A and B are shown apart, each in its own frame.
Chain A
Amino acid sequence: MANQVCFRNNHLENSWTLEAYQSNGGYEVLKKILSEKTPAEELIEDIKLSNLRGRGGAGFPTGIKWSFMPRNAPGQKYIVCNSDEGEPGTCKDRDILRYNPHQLIEGMIIAGYCIGASAGYNYIRGEFWEPYSRFESALEEARAAGILGENIFGSGFDFTLDAHLGAGAYVCGEETALLNSIEGKKGQPRFKPPFPAGFGLYGRPTTINNTESLASIPVILAKGGQWFLDLGLPSAGGEKLFSVSGHVNKPGNYEVPMGTPFSELLEMAGGVREGHQLKAVIPGGSSTPVVPGEQMMEVNMDYDSIAAAGSMLGAGSVIVIDETACMPRILERLSYFYYEESCGQCTPCREGTGWLYRVLQRIEAGNGSNEDLDLLDNVASNIEGNTICALGDAAAMPVRSFLKHYRDEFQYHIDHSTCMVKSDW
């Protein structure tokens, strides 16, 4: 089975319209909840039962996150959707916005209902003009239909929702940088504590969820937490979107149950391109540690299985690498990304990402020295865990894993000033 949650409407014609969405039961759960005034605690319990884990990468259980909100505290509270989707290799949220925007809207309204928020923002990645436009159109449709705004479905419940287009900074996908960006400030992460559940957007209690997490909510509540849990594994319920890219025949987004073997996912993506062999996989987006291909073929696509292989499920962004790839060159490119995207606020990341990139650039250019590999590993470990946000870790983990698994290729570069692998791309 596949495509039962976020992609369940993708087969419909003009699936992004209100009409198409409602033809498949869209907004029915919301209507039911609002008319029956289902207690929020009951809904949150169902989400907890489903074991929906945050789809943005950290995998924190959504139901538990919602229960942190002081839902009955007076004053404004916010639900914020993180559609910044900046992690290289991921493009799943983009397709939710493009093909199923109303399910996200419905999920956000229900989230607002559950946590006591009457306002929501969807922060959309700056480069996502088309998804942004489509989401805006969906908002217009929903407002016109009385699904957003005051007194939704005559229930007395008010909820406003607005989209906010970012300006292209990777770090704004970090939830507190995202909040700063919405507030019109420089997109820099805040240090925690305080956490957003206590002091979030404009200093008010705020819950921030990933697009896929929020878009899963209506289906979970329509079919029940148990149903969703049964789709996947006890440790992580549901189906999950995987963005498969790299050296495969059919790159794209695939919604499959948690725990699907990687080999099956690879097959769905058409397998490694003709005439080539799998060399390595970055299983969860560019910041997660690389896993050698033969090891990956034994791994299932869930948190525990990938963790056992030394990496992370992350946002489910699977980058497939075949034998033609020069690993030092890939790492140099990844490091350049983190160097460019470091916000510059805290010392280890600001200074360390540039250091990593410059050394890798030197190795790639054939000017490496024997001390460089230990230096790289040490600098990366000095960044890791010492920064305000996870960007430092994201920059460090690829370096350490590439060196762990492919040190020989780096050493070859240093010794011979050229690639061990001759790329054909």
Chain B
Amino acid sequence: MDNNNSLTIQVNDIELQVEPGQTLIEVADANGIEIPRFCYHKKLSTSANCRMCLVEVEKAPKMMPACATPVMDGMKAWTKSPKAIAAQKSVMEFLLINHPLDCPVCDQGGECDLQEIAMGYGAGTARYSEKKRIVKDKDYGSLVSTEMTRCIHCTRCVRFGTEIAGITEIGGTGRGDHMEIGTYVQKSLSSELSGNIIDLCPVGALLSKPFLYSARSWELKSLPSIAPHDAVGSHIQVQVRNGEVMRVIPRENESLNEIWISDRDRFSYLGLNSADRMTQPMMRNDVGKLVTCDWQQALEATVKGLKAAGAESGALASPSATVEELYLLQKLMRGLGSSSIDCRLGQQDFSGQQNQPAPQLNSTLESVEQQNAVLIVGANLRHEQPLLAHRVRKAALAGAAVSSVNPAQVNFNYDLSTTVETDQLTPALAAVAKAMVALGKGSDLDGLTALVANAAVDESHQAIAQSLIDGEQVMVLIGGLVYRDANQAVLYALADAIAQMSGATLSVVTEGANALGGALVGAASTAGKNVAEMIAEPPKAVLLMGIEAKDLSSTDAIRKTDFVVAMAAFSDGLNDLQADIVLPMAAFTETSGTLVNMEGSWQSFQGVVAPKGEARPGWKILRVLGTLANLDGFDLDTSEEVLAEAKTATESAAQAGGWSAPSSLGSDQTTVSIGHAIYAVDPLVRRSEALQQSHLGQQKGEIA
């Protein structure tokens, strides 16, 4: 605390040092002084409308809302004086007169701010004997249910939409006690962050629709975990009852997800109980039909098949698999003599891989907010990495010049400083690079000038170049559309050149929750066959981990392979991939493990429920396979041991990249290839019915 600027105030006769600009409620919260509130929320603008936080302030003729009262030197405030308590109690009474007394059937019961504060400030009996207000419910779609009669008009959800989600789709209509919170026209919510309004709602007006009436909050055990669908690695609480996952809510972590999570992270758990779950090992019988078998048979047959193929085996894994799984998978394959291990499922072009370090942000999520200029290339960020998109939005709102080179279908929830809408990323990016060269940059990058010599530069490319050069903290961010592009190597090189010319951080985000971890532990092998080669011409034996047909661009060849083993949590892979053996694998809630997020943080988590049926954690399956194959170094008893070994084996994250000019921009300047739809990124998400039925889940377009 800077003592030169700090002020001295008294709250409840206790002297406190505070900073100018703070409000009374912030001071109270920081010092453990409890002030009841409904509308105030630290992440939202102040509206001061609920009036629950009224406190007494010396010399003020009226009670003042603590949330909207800035501190002043020498100020004296009392939060529990008779006058303050009287004001708080009267507000409580007003809030309750039109609120239904349906706590016994309300899902919010037990975790309701109104219920809790009413215990302290409500009267035992009601003085209100007139008719109560009834409000028609709204249809917000498949994720959020409404019970608008319970609404206390705090407008947190409204402010969330405007300020955080960046989509003004909820508002208040009507006056007085006819005021209703709703969408302006009847529509379902379209934000990728919409579920957060469930947490923000201080009463039972906005609830999780999939969770509705399925459990009471006090029956749930809350266990910490890490969300496994994008590279933010949001902290979550998985809430469990009787060995079943009932609900997922955010776990506060200011440096990553703050207090939010994406709808994908919140509602993906619904896929855990899908009818497709694999609960028993299976293998093909004599007539080629998949039938259940015991683990011993399945494991022995797997080892036999893989050993037979030996160096001609290969493995494909989900980029959302854990470090432990990916490490043991590559250890197994390498033990068998094969270096064909890949988790870069969406990538087509590997020609530049020698110059590309493992994909990562090269920054922290928090410092993304501090950028002066950001160039987003080939990234549908809101769908790929919703909470990274939120950080970029915060930077934009704080005045950063955010520009975009993307297909027109990519939406932004803030104003871009410059946008180049194109399906052909390469010429556009080359033009930006050329504009920088024209500004006198890039003389140290051999071959760059010649490479971009023919690019057609217009004002927007120049504006982007200028904004990056002008900014002090600058970022070039390439995403999933670059990752999937057939010209990825050239695009990466151009982005790298632009970053070097402007002194920008080059941030690379791909797909999955652990692409960086996979690369670090050798599961994105540059030595053997890569995923594109394995899809085109599969090895004799293929081990698939956590993926199914929809994760691969083609399965035609793999289906014809002699021997396919699928470690899978879901059964779709059987039919589509013609697996010979299926080893039922635990889902993320059923195993311990570690995910390395885009910041490079290794985030470990524990299993919160037992695996379904006979399913087993992936790392355990792989450990047994290694042991059965008589390979050394598989006598690892815990996932922690696996992790410790994986860490020592890690290739340097900062492995040298270095500029090397591509020979040409590519004769065929391909258009952007498909991106995964937001709710189609992995097998679990694809099986969350509620997500599929939601507004974004219904958008089946390629980019969407």
> Is A387 part of the contact surface with B, judged by Cβ < 8 Å?
yes
Query: A351-B94, A351-B98, A386-B91 are contacts. A344–B51 as well, Cβ < 8 Å?
Result: no
Chain A residue contacts of B177, Cβ below 8 A: 339, 342, 344, 350-351, 353-354
A194-224 contact mask (Cβ, 8 Å, vs B): 1 or 0: 0000000000000000000000000000000
Which residue in B54, B95, B127, B171 is a CB contact (below 8 Å) of A351? B95
Do residues A358 and B175 form an inter-chain contact, with CB atoms below 8 A?
no
A378-391 contact mask (Cβ, 8 Å, vs B): 1 or 0: 00001001111000
Query: A347-B50, A350-B177 are contacts. A385–B131 as well, Cβ < 8 Å?
Result: no
Minimum Cβ distance to chain A for residue B205 (Å): 15
Q: Which residues 347-384 in A have Cβ within 8 Å of B in the complex?
A: 347-355, 358-359, 362, 375, 382
Chain B residue contacts of A387, Cβ below 8 A: 51
> Is A346 part of the contact surface with B, judged by Cβ < 8 Å?
yes
> Is B440 part of the contact surface with A, judged by Cβ < 8 Å?
no
Total CB contacts across the A-B interface at under 8 A:
95
A339 to B133, alpha carbons, bound, how many Å?
Answer: 14
Main secondary structure on B side of the interface with A: loop
Do residues B131 and A358 form an inter-chain contact, with CB atoms below 8 A?
yes
> Is B176 part of the contact surface with A, judged by Cβ < 8 Å?
yes
Chain B residue contacts of A80, Cβ below 8 A: none
> Is B439 part of the contact surface with A, judged by Cβ < 8 Å?
no
> Is B62 part of the contact surface with A, judged by Cβ < 8 Å?
yes
Do residues A385 and B172 form an inter-chain contact, with CB atoms below 8 A?
no
Minimum Cβ distance to chain B for residue A184 (Å): 13
CB nearest neighbor in A for B130: A358
> Is B68 part of the contact surface with A, judged by Cβ < 8 Å?
yes
> Is A340 part of the contact surface with B, judged by Cβ < 8 Å?
yes
CB nearest neighbor in A for B38: A347
Which residue in B48, B54, B90, B131 is a CB contact (below 8 Å) of A191? B48
Do residues B179 and A386 form an inter-chain contact, with CB atoms below 8 A?
no
Chain B residue contacts of A351, Cβ below 8 A: 94-95, 97-98, 177
Q: Which residues 69-127 in B have Cβ within 8 Å of A in the complex?
A: 70, 87, 90-91, 93-95, 97-98, 127
> Is B153 part of the contact surface with A, judged by Cβ < 8 Å?
yes
CB nearest neighbor in A for B94: A351
Minimum Cβ distance to chain B for residue A259 (Å): 27
> Is A418 part of the contact surface with B, judged by Cβ < 8 Å?
no
Size of the A side of the interface (Cβ < 8 Å), in residues, is 31
Chain B residue contacts of A353, Cβ below 8 A: 176-177
Do residues A346 and B48 form an inter-chain contact, with CB atoms below 8 A?
yes
> Is B577 part of the contact surface with A, judged by Cβ < 8 Å?
no
> Is A341 part of the contact surface with B, judged by Cβ < 8 Å?
yes
Do residues B97 and A347 form an inter-chain contact, with CB atoms below 8 A?
no
CB nearest neighbor in A for B50: A347
A345 to B174, alpha carbons, bound, how many Å?
Answer: 10
> Is A156 part of the contact surface with B, judged by Cβ < 8 Å?
no
Do residues B176 and A341 form an inter-chain contact, with CB atoms below 8 A?
yes
> Is A256 part of the contact surface with B, judged by Cβ < 8 Å?
no
Query: A347-B49, A347-B152, A359-B130 are contacts. A340–B91 as well, Cβ < 8 Å?
Result: no
> Is B617 part of the contact surface with A, judged by Cβ < 8 Å?
no
Which residue in A193, A354, A375, A386 is a CB contact (below 8 Å) of B176? A354
CB nearest neighbor in B for A381: B90
Which residue in A344, A354, A355, A382 is a CB contact (below 8 Å) of B174? A344
Do residues A344 and B68 form an inter-chain contact, with CB atoms below 8 A?
no
Chain A residue contacts of B63, Cβ below 8 A: 385-386
Q: Which residues 131-175 in B have Cβ within 8 Å of A in the complex?
A: 131, 152-153, 171-172, 174-175
> Is B700 part of the contact surface with A, judged by Cβ < 8 Å?
no
> Is A276 part of the contact surface with B, judged by Cβ < 8 Å?
no
A114 to B175, alpha carbons, bound, how many Å?
Answer: 37
Chain A residue contacts of B50, Cβ below 8 A: 346-347
CB nearest neighbor in A for B91: A347
Do residues B97 and A342 form an inter-chain contact, with CB atoms below 8 A?
no
Chain B residue contacts of A186, Cβ below 8 A: 171-172
Do residues A375 and B62 form an inter-chain contact, with CB atoms below 8 A?
no
Query: A344-B153, A348-B91, A351-B97 are contacts. A385–B175 as well, Cβ < 8 Å?
Result: no
Chain B residue contacts of A6, Cβ below 8 A: none
Chain B residue contacts of A341, Cβ below 8 A: 175-176
Do residues B52 and A344 form an inter-chain contact, with CB atoms below 8 A?
no
A30 to B113, alpha carbons, bound, how many Å?
Answer: 58
Query: A343-B176, A344-B172, A358-B130 are contacts. A382–B62 as well, Cβ < 8 Å?
Result: no
> Is B128 part of the contact surface with A, judged by Cβ < 8 Å?
yes
> Is A169 part of the contact surface with B, judged by Cβ < 8 Å?
yes
CB nearest neighbor in B for A349: B176
> Is B304 part of the contact surface with A, judged by Cβ < 8 Å?
no
Chain B residue contacts of A354, Cβ below 8 A: 98, 176-177
A351 to B176, alpha carbons, bound, how many Å?
Answer: 8
Minimum Cβ distance to chain B for residue A286 (Å): 17
Do residues B68 and A348 form an inter-chain contact, with CB atoms below 8 A?
no
> Is B61 part of the contact surface with A, judged by Cβ < 8 Å?
yes
A155-196 contact mask (Cβ, 8 Å, vs B): 1 or 0: 000000000000001010000000000000010000101000
Do residues B93 and A382 form an inter-chain contact, with CB atoms below 8 A?
yes
Minimum Cβ distance to chain A for residue B130 (Å): 4
CB nearest neighbor in B for A387: B51
Chain B residue contacts of A193, Cβ below 8 A: 68, 70
A388 to B54, alpha carbons, bound, how many Å?
Answer: 11
Do residues B176 and A344 form an inter-chain contact, with CB atoms below 8 A?
yes
A349 to B152, alpha carbons, bound, how many Å?
Answer: 13
Do residues A350 and B153 form an inter-chain contact, with CB atoms below 8 A?
yes
Chain A residue contacts of B68, Cβ below 8 A: 191, 193
A355 to B152, alpha carbons, bound, how many Å?
Answer: 16
CB nearest neighbor in B for A358: B130
A347 to B68, alpha carbons, bound, how many Å?
Answer: 15
Chain A residue contacts of B175, Cβ below 8 A: 169, 171, 340-344
CB nearest neighbor in A for B154: A347
Minimum Cβ distance to chain A for residue B529 (Å): 60
Which residue in B49, B61, B131 is a CB contact (below 8 Å) of A346? B49
Do residues B94 and A385 form an inter-chain contact, with CB atoms below 8 A?
no
Minimum Cβ distance to chain A for residue B444 (Å): 43
Which residue in A343, A344, A345, A348 is a CB contact (below 8 Å) of B90? A348
Chain B residue contacts of A352, Cβ below 8 A: 94
CB nearest neighbor in A for B87: A386
B34-49 contact mask (Cβ, 8 Å, vs A): 1 or 0: 0000000000001111
Chain B residue contacts of A343, Cβ below 8 A: 175-176, 179
Do residues A344 and B178 form an inter-chain contact, with CB atoms below 8 A?
yes
> Is B683 part of the contact surface with A, judged by Cβ < 8 Å?
no
Do residues B176 and A340 form an inter-chain contact, with CB atoms below 8 A?
yes
> Is B65 part of the contact surface with A, judged by Cβ < 8 Å?
yes
A287 to B95, alpha carbons, bound, how many Å?
Answer: 24
CB nearest neighbor in A for B131: A358
A82-126 contact mask (Cβ, 8 Å, vs B): 1 or 0: 000000000000000000000000000000000000000000000
CB nearest neighbor in A for B88: A386
Minimum Cβ distance to chain A for residue B24 (Å): 13
CB nearest neighbor in B for A345: B49
Chain A residue contacts of B70, Cβ below 8 A: 193
Do residues B179 and A191 form an inter-chain contact, with CB atoms below 8 A?
no
Chain A residue contacts of B91, Cβ below 8 A: 347-348, 386
Do residues A342 and B130 form an inter-chain contact, with CB atoms below 8 A?
no
Do residues B94 and A375 form an inter-chain contact, with CB atoms below 8 A?
no
Chain A residue contacts of B62, Cβ below 8 A: 385-386
Chain B residue contacts of A359, Cβ below 8 A: 130
Chain A residue contacts of B93, Cβ below 8 A: 382
Minimum Cβ distance to chain B for residue A368 (Å): 11
Minimum Cβ distance to chain B for residue A228 (Å): 30
Chain B residue contacts of A346, Cβ below 8 A: 48-51
A346 to B51, alpha carbons, bound, how many Å?
Answer: 7
11 A-B contacts, Cβ less than 8 Å apart? A191-B65, A191-B68, A342-B176, A344-B179, A351-B95, A354-B177, A355-B94, A355-B130, A386-B54, A386-B62, A386-B87
Extra contacts, 16 of them, besides A343-B176, A354-B98, A382-B94 (Cβ < 8 A), are: A169-B175, A186-B171, A191-B68, A193-B68, A339-B176, A344-B178, A344-B179, A345-B179, A347-B52, A347-B94, A348-B94, A350-B153, A351-B98, A386-B51, A386-B62, A386-B90
Closest 3 CB pairs of A and B: A344-B179, A382-B90, A342-B176
